Structure 1
Amino acid sequence: MDKLLKSISYIFHPLLMPVLGVVFYFAKSPRFIPVEIITAKLISLLILTVVLPILLFFLLKIIGKVQSIHLTTAKQRILPLALNCIILLLVIKKILPPNQSIELYYFFIGILIANMACMCLAVFGFKASIHMIGVNGLIMFFIALSIHYSININGTLALMAIITGAVATSRLHLKAHNNIELITGAFIGFIPQLILVPYWL
């Protein structure tokens, strides 16, 4: 059970949530989008939102700014979150501008807001759950897309609810967060996506 709960934290790592949202969008969007464009955007996003943050983490570890990948203290989170905000701005500006995909544009705006909120809390010593931020932001985006395109994704939402519970259980079991930090993370992920829905729905 211990290994299973640890693996859940890695499988549903926050770095993967934006890419999962984009994959879901391309899978469900009724618009015709050439496969070449989809492939190019996914590869670009994987490099910028997954590979680059991992490389930056190792750089920060080498220079002594972070001790472990778990970022166990609020202070250790500030610089990685700031760098991630810069990466998200680059994605919004260069890869997903509003004239190409308004849905994904605001999805990443919401992710940026959530990252900034998490960083601000870290400055004041509060360690909100980034795992819960990622999962709950993704759920709200899925709900908005289902309304936008009038599609039934009840199965997907049920699966996401199970995943959310599994992630929360994993973080508690590993003593990475307490209940307040998990709930705060859930709201930080969910609320920005909800607030931005009227701008594109």
Structure 2
Amino acid sequence: MNQLLKSISFIFHPILMPMLGVVFYFSKSPRFIPIEIIQAKIISLLILTIALPILLYFLLKNIGRVHSIYLDTAKERIVPLFLNGCITLLIINRVLPPTEIIELYYFFVGILISTLACFILAILKFKASIHMIGITGVTMFYIALSIHFSINVNGTLALMFIIIGAIATSRLHVKAHTNIELLFGFFIGLLPQLILVNYWL
């Protein structure tokens, strides 16, 4: 059980959450989008949201700015969060402009807002749970899409709520966060996506 709880934090790492939202969108959207465009967007986002952050992590680790992929202290989070904010800004300006796929544009705007909020808290030496930010943001996006496209994804949503509970349990078990840090993470991930729904739903 101990190993299982530890592995949950790795399996559902925040770096994977944007791609979960993107893949879900393309798999559920009833709109016709040429397969070439879908492939181009997914490849671009894989590079920018997963490959590039991993490379930047190893660079920061080599120069001593971070010590763990989990960014255990508030101080360690400042530079990675700033860089992630820059990457997200690049995505919403170049890869997913509002004139193309508005739902994904606002999804990433929400990610940017959550990242900036977490960045500010890190400067203030408060360590909100990035794991909770990621999973709750994606879950809220799923809920909004199910309403937007009038599709039944109750099974997926039930699974997402189970995963939220598992991640919270895992982070508490490894003593990475307190209850208040998890709660802050929950709302920092949820609220931007919820508020931005007004612009595209």
Q: Which bracket does the TM-score occupy, shorter chain normalised?
A: over 0.9
- Unaligned 5+ residue runs, structure 2? none
What is the Cα deviation at residue 127 of structure 1? Answer: 0.1
How many aligned residue pairs are there? 201
Q: Which runs of 4+ in 1 moved over 4 A?
A: none
Matches within 5 A, 1:112-191: 112-191=112-191
What is the Cα deviation at residue 2 of structure 1? Answer: 1.4
Structure 2 distance, partners of 1:94, 1:4, is 39
**Equivalent residue for 1:92?**
92
Q: What amino acid maps onto 1:34 in structure 2?
A: P
Q: What amino acid maps onto 1:122 in structure 2?
A: A
Residues 137-159 of structure 1: CA deviation (Å, up to 9, x unaligned): 00110111011111111111100
| RMSD of Structure 2 on Structure 1 (CA) | 0.6
Q: What amino acid maps onto 1:85 in structure 2?
A: G
Structure 1 distance, partners of 2:107, 2:167, is 21
TM-score where L is the length of structure 1:
0.99
Q: What amino acid maps onto 2:98 in structure 1?
A: P
Structure 1 distance, partners of 2:200, 2:68, is 38
What is the Cα deviation at residue 69 of structure 1? Answer: 1.4
Structure 2 distance, partners of 1:105, 1:59, is 29
**Equivalent residue for 1:104?**
104
Does 1:36 find its partner at 2:39?
no
- Unaligned 5+ residue runs, structure 1? none
Residues 158-183 of structure 1: CA deviation (Å, up to 9, x unaligned): 00000000011110111110100001
What is the Cα deviation at residue 6 of structure 1? Answer: 1.4
**Equivalent residue for 1:20?**
20
Structure 2 distance, partners of 1:150, 1:111, is 24
Structure 1 distance, partners of 2:87, 2:103, is 19
What is the Cα deviation at residue 7 of structure 1? Answer: 1.3
Structure 2 distance, partners of 1:135, 1:62, is 29
Percentage of matched positions with identical amino acids:
72
Matches within 5 A, 1:43-58: 43-58=43-58
SS at match of 2:184: helix
Residues 98-138 of structure 1: CA deviation (Å, up to 9, x unaligned): 11100000000000000000000000000000000000000
Structure 1 distance, partners of 2:82, 2:92, is 15
**Equivalent residue for 2:2?**
2
Structure 2 distance, partners of 1:20, 1:67, is 26
> Which deviates more, 59-68 or 79-88?
59-68
